[in-house]
Amino acid sequence: MIERYREIIDRIDREILNLLNERAKVVIEVGKEKLKNNKPFIDIPREEAHIRDLLEVNKGPLLNENIISIFREIISSCRLLEGTLKVAFLGPEGTFTHLAALKRFGRDSVYVPARSIPEVFSLVEKGEVLLGVVPIENSTEGVVNYTLDMFMTSPLNIIGEIIIPISHNLIARDDVIEIKKIYSHPQAFGQCKEYLEKNFPGVDLVEANSTAKAVEMASKDNESAAIGSEIAAEKFGLKVIASRIEDDPNNRTRFLIIGRNNENRFSGKDKTMVMFSTAHKPGALFNALRCFAENNVNLTMIQSRPSREVLWEFVFFVEFQGHKEEENVKRALESLKEVVWSYRIIGSYPEDESL
């Protein structure tokens, strides 16, 4: 009976293979049309809407997360027939930003590690890569201010978001005897605070630029450990001493996809982020936020950052549900123009619903 089932699987796989190649041929023709009309070969809103449509008709037994993973790789492989997608990320390899980029763009894209968030922006601005991926917010530690600050000086736009679960591991060399210090990124230390206080109260915590860099540092020191991902442990040949040491089992991090294009079309479920400055007087921020409430626009994030131009003046970042071309959002933004000093739409982009 097993052999009979295997024959059925083999036949289905051959059918899948033929259909994949038919899909690839169509993608090549689409690529020619995009080239003829000078359009970018990646269309994030289209990809997100397509995935969303597939999930709506998925009857199982494959879970939605399985469908997302499978079709991300199919899209990635077919996209390669149109052109090579180069994506910069906060490196080195093995960081959670790297994992987020892989999740979204698949293994057939080219990934360029950057040493810092500003370098990710720089690589995209110079055209050395098409897109960049940077962290913006963690469910435990809050917003990554470095990323918000970059939008005050960079012309780049947000064209997508990626949300992934964050699971931290304590990682060390095989020959470690006593752990005298632990390396990691400040955000990771914050997300594992209770674990560290309980298990390593007297150990020095040494900050690194990334969790992957921390694992690399621990690989050179047999009296240390690092907090990082399993993929980083594998990369540097270390072992996982303890798994899932994060304080919050629902720990999530959100990343932004940044690019030079600000023409994202409506995908069906979008977000928009704007930045603005107001007069330094009572009620100025209230008047700005009222523009959203009066037009039934739901805010998902509001942050303030020092303007860097005038002492004690701030730039406000507001993210909300809806696309800039939707009528209620248009009305809200028109009203906002009337009550603020300056403002910029940083981007409208598909909402990540994968978790």
* pLDDT of 114 over the 60 cut: yes
In this structure, the strands spanning 299-306 and 314-321 are: antiparallel
Q: What was the pLDDT predicted at 250?
A: 85
Q: Is residue 279 over pLDDT 90?
A: no
CA angle, 354 as apex, 134 and 50 as ends, to 5°? 100
CA distance 335 to 331: 6
36 has a pLDDT exceeding 80: no
- Residue 272, SS3 per DSSP: strand
pLDDT in the model for residue 312: 56
User: At 92, is the pLDDT very low, low, confident or very high (cuts 50, 70, 90)?
Assistant: confident
**Has domain 86-166+252-259 been given CATH number 3.40.190.10?**
yes
CA distance 289 to 291: 5
Are the C-beta atoms of residues 89 and 130 closer than 8 Å to each other?
no
The residues pairing with 314 across neighbouring beta strands, listed in sequence order, are 306
Average pLDDT (323-343) is 93
The predicted-structure confidence for 147-165, as pLDDT tens digits, reads as follows 999 999 999 999 999 999 8
Residue 266, exposed/middle/buried by CB under 10 A (0-12, 13-18, 19+)? middle
How would you label 146-167 residue by residue, b for 16+ Cβ within 10 Å and e otherwise?
Answer: ebbbbbbeeebbbbbbbbbebe
Q: Which residue has the tokens 């999530």?
A: 252
Comparing 169-242 with 270-350, is the CATH topology the same? no
Q: 96-105 and 64-79 helices cross at what angle (nearest 10)?
A: 80
Is the distance from CB of 142 to CB of 241 less than 8 angstroms?
no
- pLDDT above 70 for 133: yes
CATH fold, domain 169-242, is D-Maltodextrin-Binding Protein; domain 2 (3.40.190)
Confidence of residue 61 (pLDDT cuts 50, 70, 90): very high
What DSSP state is assigned to residue 248?
-
Least reliable range by pLDDT among 2-16, 249-263, 292-306 = 249-263
pLDDT band at 48 (very low <50, low <70, confident <90, very high): confident
Res 141 pLDDT > 60: yes
Mean pLDDT score across all residues of the chain: 90
The pLDDT-based confidence of 249 (bands split at 50, 70, 90) is: confident
Domain range list for the chain = 2-79, 86-166+252-259, 169-242, 270-350
Q: Which residue has the higher pLDDT, 306 or 136?
A: 136
Q: What is the mean pLDDT of residues 264-291?
A: 88
Confirm or reject CATH 3.40.50.970 for domain 270-350, answering yes or no: no
- Would you state the pLDDT for residue 311? 59
Q: Which top CATH class is 2-79?
A: mainly alpha
The rounded distance, in Å, linking the Cα atoms of 255 and 111 is: 16
Above 70 in pLDDT, residue 53?
yes
pLDDT at site 310: 63
- Decide if pLDDT at 14 tops 90: yes
Q: In terms of Cα–Cα distance, which of 158, 167, 171 is closest to 140?
A: 167
For residue range 166-199, list pLDDT tens digits in order.
889 999 998 888 899 999 999 899 999 999 999 9
Residue 355, pLDDT > 60, answer no
More confident residue, 37 or 112: 112
Residue whose entry in the numeric block shows the structure tokens 């492989």? 77
User: What would the two tokens of residue 232 be?
Assistant: 């980083």
Whether 29 contacts 318, CB under 8 Å: no
DSSP string, 163-188: EEE---EEEE-TT-----EEEE-HHH
pLDDT for residue 99 is more than 70 = yes
Q: What pLDDT is attached to residue 313?
A: 77
- pLDDT band of 86, cuts 50, 70, 90: very high
Share of the chain above pLDDT 90, in %: 58
